[in-house]
Structure 1
Amino acid sequence: MSTYQDYQKQIAELQAKAEVARLNEISEAKAKIRAIMNEYGLTLADIGGSPKSMPKASRKPVEIKYKDAATGATWTGRGRAPKWLAGKDKSQYLIR
């Protein structure tokens, strides 16, 4: 009768074999895809793909337009005005 340790060892061996098989199948699939792309003169752009190496554009933070010197509270001027600015003249808090 097999022990728990024996089963764990068999599982590890099977997982290693499965990983090798997966890597082999991936390389075969890539070779087939390259052959088809070369045969028809296709590029990644033709099939709607994009390379993974292209970085995504990052957004720049919005500049602060208003600041309360007493409290240090700030507002970019976008969205609803903060409560500390309600009923006050915005031009007094405008950063110049």
Structure 2
Amino acid sequence: MATYEELKVKLDALNKEAEAARQREISTVLSDIREAVLRYEIRPEQIFPTWTRLRSPERRRGPLPPKYRNPMTGQTWSGRGRVPKWLAGPSRDDFLVDRPTP
């Protein structure tokens, strides 16, 4: 029975051999794919339905309007990101920009 180290060496050799075979076959496979795509006039969206999302990154959203305001300093916070120190602790409803009057 082979030892762990011997099996590990064999596994490494097989992995290297498999990668070499993969590299040899890639060019043939890619040329076959290109030929079929041209022959059948296949569009990338047909192969990858989410192609448009892959090609164009999502647009970054602009800044949000302030949701909370510090009455003492006028500082504002949109509700995203770290909670400001002046808002940590008390009820956030007390600092709402458009809070309903009771």
Is this a same-fold pair by TM over 0.5? yes
Which of 83, 90, 95 is the matching residue for 1:85?
A: 95
Q: Which stretches of structure 1, 4 residues or more, deviate above 6 A after TM superposition? A: none
User: Unmatched 5+ residue regions in structure 2?
Assistant: 80-91
User: Unmatched 5+ residue regions in structure 1?
Assistant: 77-81, 92-96
Higher helix share: 2
2:32 maps to 32
RMSD: 3.5
For residues 54-94 of structure 1, give each alpha carbon's deviation from its aligned partner in whole angstroms, at most 9, with x where no partner exists. 24214324323352242745246xxxxx41236xx839xxx
Whichever residue aligns with residue 70 of structure 1, its letter is M
Equivalent positions of 1:1-96 (< 5 A) are: 2-45=2-45, 47-49=46-48, 50=51, 54-66=55-67, 67-70=69-72, 72=75, 74-75=77-78, 82-85=92-95, 90=98
Equivalent position SS for 2:44: coil
TM-score by length of 1: 0.55
TM-score by length of 2: 0.53
Question: For the residues of structure 1 that align with 2:26 and 2:47, how far apart are their CA atoms?
Answer: 20
- Is contact 1:64-1:75 (8 Å) kept? yes
Percent sequence identity is: 19
Alpha-carbon distance, 1:51 to partner: 7.6
